[in-house]
Structure 1
Amino acid sequence: MDRFQSDWQSFHPRTPPVGHLLREAEGWNVTRFHLLPDGRKTAHNRDELHSLLKRFNTIATATLGEDAPCYLIALQSPNQDARHRQRFERLKSRYDLTPGWEFHQASDNLTYTVCSGDVTWQTNGFNRILLHIYQTDLWDVIWMNKATGAVFRPYDAGADISQPTPNDLIARISSFYGWMPQNGLGFIRFNQAQMATAKFQVTKPCAEAIQKVIAAQQK
C-alpha cells in the first residue's frame, strides 16, 4: 500500500477515488455546485469563461484552504483515447504524479491506476488544469486536503466537494447556495453518524435552496 492509498483510506475507507462516483459515496458530507448559468456546460464568451475559472478557484479555496498541503489525484484507465493519454502524461510529468494503487471498479468495468502527487493548493495556481477539465481534455481529477480529507473534484462546468463534518459542508453551502444545481442535477449527502450530533442554522434562502435539491434527488 502506497502513502496516498493509506492516507485516502484513512479518511474514506469505503470509497475509491473515482470522481464521477463520489455523489454515491456513503458516509461523506458531499454536494455539488454548478458554476455556469442555466445549467449550461459551456461558456458563451471569454467573460463567462473567466467567471467560471474564478468560481472554480473560489469553491476550491473554500473547500481545501489556501496554501493547504494536498494530494493531486488522477486516474489512468484503458479507455483513454490518444488525446486524453497525451494530456494525462503531461499532467503526470508536470506535477510528478506517481502511479501506485490499482483497483477494479465493477460499476465502470474498468481497472484504474491511481497517479498521485504532493501539491499545495493556491488560488489560480491550477488554472491550466481547470481549463483542460472544462474542455474535457482531462476528467476525474481530484484534490484532497492531507489534513482533513476534504475533496475538490471539478467537472466541465462545476465541482463536487466534500467536507469533514456536516457543519463544514453547511458553511460552504451557506456561502454558495446560489450555485447549487436545479432541475434534479444537484445532490447533498451527509455522514449520518455525524448528523446525530450536528447543529446548525442557515438563512431562509439557503434553506429553500437545500430543500429544492433534496426534494429533487428523492424523486
Structure 2
Amino acid sequence: MTEDSATTEEFRRDWARYHSTCLPLGWMLRNREGSPWVRFHALPGSKRYADNKAERGIILSRAYALGDSLLGADQWCWVVEGEIGDPSATSEVAYSGTETDDPDDPVWSFSVRRERWRAGASDAKLLSIADDAPRRVIWMRCENGAVFAPYDGGFDLFPTSWEAVNQLQAAWPDWLSDHPAGL
C-alpha cells in the first residue's frame, strides 16, 4: 500500500467514525439533526465580503482564533478539499459522492491530506473561501472529529459536544448571528 492510499484509507475510517451520514461539506454537517453546531460571522455586522486589507485581516484573525479553539493549535487535522467533478478525473480523490440519491445530482470529489492546524498557514486558502471560491474546504481534527468549515461570510464549527458549543458562543458572542436559527 502506498503512502497516498494509506492516507486515503485512514481518512475514510476517521470520516466514517465521526460523520458517516454525510459528505464532508459544511452545509450537510449542519443539517444533521442533533449535531453540535455553531456559526460565527467573519466580519462585523454580518458583512459577507471583505472590501479591503483590514477586513481581510479580521477574517483571518477570527478564523485562526476559532480554529485554534476548536481544532487546537498545532494539532493534526484532515484538510478536506471538495469540488464538483468526475471522481475518475484525478488519482488524488480520496472520497466522492452525491448530496442525495438522485442519479442526476452532481458528484463531489474530495482530496485529503494531514497537516497541523497552525495560525497563518492557510491565509490564501481561507481568503479564497471568503471570496466564495467554488472549491469547498473543511478541517477535521484527527483525534476527535471536530470540524471547522469556513464559507463565504463566516465559519461553521462542529464541536464534539453541546457544552463546547456553549463555550465557543461565550468566548465570541459578538461574532454570532442574530438570526433565530443561528444562520
Same fold by TM-score greater than 0.5: yes
User: Residue 140 in 1 paired to residue 140 in 2?
Assistant: no
Q: Which residue of 1 aligns with 2:37?
A: 30
Question: Residues 98 and 117 of structure 1 are in contact (CA less than 8 Å); yes or no, is this contact kept in structure 2?
Answer: no
Structure 2: state its 5+ residue gaps. 1-7
How many Å separate the matches in 2 of 1:100 and 1:160? 23
Paired AA for residue 103 in structure 1: G
Structure number with greater Rg is 1
Question: Deviation of residue 58 (structure 1)?
Answer: 0.8
Structure 1: state its 5+ residue gaps. 80-91, 188-219
How many Å separate the matches in 2 of 1:46 and 1:65? 26
Paired AA for residue 51 in structure 1: I
Q: 2:68 aligns with which of 61, 65, 87?
A: 61
Output aligned runs, 1:111-126, within 5 Å: 111-126=107-122
How many Å separate the matches in 1 of 2:135 and 2:182? 19
Question: Residues 76 and 115 of structure 1 are in contact (CA less than 8 Å); yes or no, is this contact kept in structure 2?
Answer: no
Question: Residues 143 and 151 of structure 1 are in contact (CA less than 8 Å); yes or no, is this contact kept in structure 2?
Answer: yes
Using structure 2 for the length normalisation, give the TM-score: 0.84
How many Å separate the matches in 1 of 2:44 and 2:57? 13
Q: Which residue of 2 aligns with 1:85?
A: none
Query: Which portions of structure 1, spanning 4 or more consecutive aligned residues, are displaced by more than 3 angstroms?
Result: none
Q: 2:14 aligns with which of 7, 18, 36?
A: 7
Percent identity of the aligned residues? 26
Question: Deviation of residue 134 (structure 1)?
Answer: 1.4
Deviates more, 1:141-150 or 1:172-181: 172-181
Q: 2:97 aligns with which of 103, 115, 119?
A: 103
* C-alpha RMSD over aligned residues: 2.3
Q: Which residue of 2 aligns with 1:158?
A: 154
Paired AA for residue 113 in structure 1: S
Using structure 1 for the length normalisation, give the TM-score: 0.71
Q: Which residue of 1 aligns with 2:4?
A: none
How many Å separate the matches in 2 of 1:14 and 1:37? 33
User: Residue 129 in 1 paired to residue 125 in 2?
Assistant: yes
Label 1:182 to 1:147 Cα distance change in 2 as closer, same or farther (>3 A): same
Q: Which residue of 2 aligns with 1:169?
A: 165
User: Residue 21 in 1 paired to residue 15 in 2?
Assistant: no
